[in-house]
Structure 1
């Protein structure tokens, strides 16, 4: 049964399983529908590999004609980045990729415009100075892997690489992904499927196969209180930030399209369930192991959260209002507890609200996915409520 929320819209029944010890997570999940404008969503929590929370509810479309089911998948935006980073860490663990080697040693064309010695770790930690392209990029060009990677190889950095982080919102996937392709001969989506998600039976893909479209949730635009205020704030951003966030400009409309789903966008178009996200980030929570299977050595899993230096991010600094720290493909929880009270917990948020996180000390991983996007790139109140409830239940 459902009940009305304060605004009069029905709060859907919640399906799935929740260990009684983690009732606070269920309460927070339900509160997201009542008070935080949730439409459809799912959350999964694992502790030492055991699934203690696996809940879903709401609607998979804005018209409220399709229920969110146990196998509903959705575009998770930048939560994808942590999965792409996992692919790179697997290669590094196998001795096929040196994170301190120049990118140009794997991708020779990249060694242009002063980037000859730029190391792979700068790509993973958003410190390469390549937050966006300088020339305008159309959506059709953006979807063209060869064209976009060639332009990135030829361009010059916006700032001195290694000195600061500046969020590579869309370029991250092409940069790290092209290194993966040069090492393996496979695009990241194929490598992920053959080496990680396929063997482990994890329901997550980069892009979305056409045969899976019927179970994909529709993303819904965030509510923006004032478009004029938003435009004024954007106009104040530095060129490197504008290039990162709006070249090209993408949102729910683009992410719901067949063209977006068919493209290879390892920074932004991963599709999966909360269960899948929790299991993928759970590789790091399990210090390299997933359900008894070794995916990474313990050393490689630990290396993923090596901090690369705190700073006010050159792209997201204004939005965060405080310093943050990138690790190698992830954000550290830090003193602001983005991923709970352990400052060395880590994860990645997706534009609008989704999240994957890992805390090896607690053996905790969490995946949260939803379709009504909030206006934030990170630390959405719905995600924060779930993370806080998970820790309160330990």
Structure 2
């Protein structure tokens, strides 16, 4: 068994471990963790680097990071769990379950359209006036319920922040619970996870939240209200993207992740917090037949539906060809199979049914050292899947010890 900085690693993944260690073994501050499950069993659980801005506090097995858009896949899973129990039909209008949603948009937008980013509600313009609105999830529910679909209705246009509130408004209307509660009852508890939360971890959680670091200060300059105000008016895909997340004064500063208020609110498209092993465990049943440790998490039919079909279309917000599939996406270029979701700084959760592998990767570096959300993903994930395809040399590594669940 090879040790990569700290943790355990199946011998087939030795190259992955070395590559991971290089990410956090230099002089730059920051750290992260990588966990891989294969056929429902943990085979890689490694971590390295530091979790504070000064670069003094070591990253540990229970250090979590804010996931940004990797949160979307988890919020979508809540909806899939409800649909699996017959509480939601993807082809029903959203207003069937959330009556307020029909107030201006009519009854034409279906659950499926929202989950494919085709609901025409990607923009915050006219929905949020400033950053304080983004901190009130109930206000965002009501504003989105009253909003008229924009010109992108019916076409894929990435719902960068609104996706989360649309999912939580729908789930709340069906269950009477907040998305924060549902992350616990529909994800954490069934899977025996205690290192997952929407926003700040609850009291008693073993998980600590890493502080964001920005070694080259690119985020400090790039994520500013002044830059947002200019870029959002450009007639480009970048302008569309910035416009979709800009809510006036204070929104750029809030999205840097340093405002404590960001962890206190419920922003189900952006402020999930998890360790790498929690992410890998959540995606583990999606890489097999919907079960984990002999317990059914999702139906096999539901899990099969996540892996296809491909829907390559130019996304009107991102300007990239994307294949959205009910809250998940494929790799935008054919370097890896499977599905999952990547966040803006590079954290991701992924399932590859072809190999039975699920992956969780988290870190605390902002855009300075990971060029966009896809740089690390497109480099690291193919290495993991290639390693999984290697024949086992001798005996395989034993299961990585996991923390006993705190839930029954």
Q: TM-score range by the shorter chain?
A: 0.7 to 0.9
Q: Deviations over 1:105-159 (max 9, x none)?
A: 1111211334421100111111111112222432221111221111111111222
Match of 1:327 among 319, 325, 328: 325
Q: Which residue in the other structure is 1:183 paired with? A: 174
Query: 5 Å matches for 1:39-118?
Result: 39-118=30-109
The alignment partner of 2:58 has SS state of: coil
Q: Is 1:312 the counterpart of 2:307 in the alignment?
A: no
Q: Aligned equivalents of 1:216 and 1:307: distance in 2?
A: 36
Q: Is 1:360 the counterpart of 2:362 in the alignment?
A: no
Q: Which residue in the other structure is 2:394 paired with? A: none
Q: Which residue in the other structure is 1:341 paired with? A: 336
Gaps of 5+ in 2: 389-408
The alignment partner of 2:158 has SS state of: coil
Q: Aligned equivalents of 2:18 and 2:343: distance in 1?
A: 23
Query: 5 Å matches for 1:137-152?
Result: 137-152=129-144
Q: CA distance change for structure 1 residues 80 and 214 in 2, over 3 Å: closer, same or farther?
A: closer
Q: Aligned equivalents of 2:317 and 2:25: distance in 1?
A: 33
TM-score, normalising length: structure 2: 0.84
Q: Which residue in the other structure is 1:379 paired with? A: 374
The alignment partner of 2:47 has SS state of: strand
Question: How much does 1:65 deviate?
Answer: 2.1
8 Å CA contact 2:53–2:213 kept in 1: the answer is yes
TM-score, normalising length: structure 1: 0.87
8 Å CA contact 1:32–1:38 kept in 2: the answer is no
Q: Aligned equivalents of 1:130 and 1:36: distance in 2?
A: 43
Q: CA distance change for structure 1 residues 307 and 112 in 2, over 3 Å: closer, same or farther?
A: farther
Q: CA distance change for structure 1 residues 304 and 243 in 2, over 3 Å: closer, same or farther?
A: same
Match of 1:269 among 263, 271, 278: 271
Question: How much does 1:277 deviate?
Answer: 0.6
Q: CA distance change for structure 1 residues 15 and 346 in 2, over 3 Å: closer, same or farther?
A: same
Q: Aligned equivalents of 1:282 and 1:258: distance in 2?
A: 31
Q: Deviations over 1:4-42 (max 9, x none)?
A: xxxxxxxxx810001111101101102223579672100
Q: Aligned equivalents of 2:28 and 2:324: distance in 1?
A: 30
Q: Aligned equivalents of 2:157 and 2:372: distance in 1?
A: 14
Gaps of 5+ in 1: 1-12
Question: How much does 1:303 deviate?
Answer: 2.1
Q: Which residue in the other structure is 2:382 paired with? A: 388
Question: How much does 1:223 deviate?
Answer: 4.5
Query: 5 Å matches for 1:210-359?
Result: 211=203, 215-221=208-214, 223-224=217-218, 227=222, 234-236=232-234, 237=236, 240-247=240-247, 249-250=251-252, 255-307=257-309, 309-317=311-319, 322-333=320-331, 336-337=333-334, 340-342=335-337, 345-359=338-352
Question: How much does 1:64 deviate?
Answer: 1.1
The alignment partner of 2:63 has SS state of: coil
Q: Deviations over 1:352-383 (max 9, x none)?
A: 11011111121011010000022655312x33
Deviates more, 1:45-54 or 1:108-117: 108-117
Structure 1 vs Structure 2 CA RMSD: 2.6
Q: Aligned equivalents of 2:298 and 2:13: distance in 1?
A: 29
Q: Which residue in the other structure is 2:165 paired with? A: 174
Q: Aligned equivalents of 1:55 and 1:119: distance in 2?
A: 41
Question: How much does 1:92 deviate?
Answer: 0.6
Question: How much does 1:207 deviate?
Answer: 1.1
Q: Deviations over 1:37-91 (max 9, x none)?
A: 6721000011111211110010101201211011011111111111111110011
Q: CA distance change for structure 1 residues 261 and 316 in 2, over 3 Å: closer, same or farther?
A: same
Q: Aligned equivalents of 1:294 and 1:155: distance in 2?
A: 38
Q: Aligned equivalents of 2:77 and 2:148: distance in 1?
A: 27
